[in-house]
Amino acid sequence: MLGLKGMKRKALICSSCLILFSITGCGAFRKYDSTTLRLSKDDGITQYIVEDFDTSLYDFDDLIADMQRQIDECNEGSQKVTLKDYELSEDQKAYVTLEYEDDNAYYDLNGYPIFYGTCLEGANAGYNPVSKAKSTQNEEYLDSVTFDNMSDKYKLLVLHEATCISTSSNILYVSEGVTLINDKMASTDSDEIAYIIF
């Protein structure tokens, strides 16, 4: 995940999900209080980065310029990643919004393995959440018959990163290391490979 402080690394990473979880009333740009991946129905990913930013140590404009350079290198002639919005608030919080065409674009920029697509696409790519993910309703483990029946009707997210996740529909199954916040939000633990089905 692109962060705002580790400028010497190619894949700049937000230090952690702040686990504040509540949604503010500041409109779409300041929609989240902590760094969050918003998953759209069309396989696109929007990343809302939220971090404390010390202006005595870093220059925000220089950081944004450096971030844009890395995005341009990643795009290489095609618009896979877009720096949509950015702002430094009076209380020294940095807000940056990045839009990714798909999971491949996210990986190309950040270097974190990630899969986001239908359950059928996930199965074809070798991802198997059977006996790893539990129902958010009754905590029963996902079985192979149920997963096979999900096919292209439901979405699967697989990642190994600590962040917050916002989905386009209700979350049905989560694996160990995933904390359900509400019907459409969860947080993941960097120590576990996360499976989320919605």
pLDDT score recorded for residue 191: 83
Residues of the chain above pLDDT 90, percent? 78
pLDDT at 130 over 70: yes
Could you read off the pLDDT of 145-176 as tens digits, one per residue?
A: 999 999 899 999 999 999 999 999 999 999 99
pLDDT score recorded for residue 69: 96
pLDDT at 127 over 50: yes
Tokens of 76: 């290489």
pLDDT score recorded for residue 28: 45
Closest CA to 166 of 35, 26, 51: 35
Please give the mean pLDDT across all residues of the chain.
Answer: 86
pLDDT at 134 over 60: yes
Could you read off the pLDDT of 49-84 as tens digits, one per residue?
A: 999 999 999 899 999 999 999 999 999 878 999 999
Residue type at 158 in one-letter notation: V
pLDDT at 14 over 50: no
